[in-house]
Amino acid sequence: MAHTTRDKAKLTARVKRLRGQVEAIERGLENEVGCAEILQLVASVRGAINGLMGELIEAHIREHVIDPAREPDQAKAEGTRELIEVLRAYLK
């Protein structure tokens, strides 16, 4: 089962929150709250999408490439751990 299916409820809740943040930008524009606040709202959506992207990439690696916790080949397991660590720092 794909992790996006297994974690469906958790991911859906998270994407709904993201939608709520985008809707807050729409309301801010509608209510003419001013540029600085719109910038802050957009920046927060950007942070949320980057966080979601990082988690999905890591879950994809574990599910569809190699799960270091279950991989018998220790060299590959180690190489995967190193990859996840570098990507976490990079996608932060």
51 binds a second copy (CB under 8 A): no
Cα 61 from chain centre: 13
Count of residues interacting with a second copy (CB under 8 A): 55
38 in Cβ contact with 47 (< 8 Å)? no
What distances in angstroms separate CA 45 from CA 10, 34, 70, one per listed residue?
18, 17, 35
Interacting residue ranges for a second copy, rule: CB under 8 A: 2-5, 8, 11-12, 15-16, 18-19, 22-23, 25-26, 28-30, 32-36, 38-40, 42-43, 45-46, 49-50, 52-53, 56-57, 59-61, 63-66, 75-76, 78-80, 82-83, 86-87, 89-91
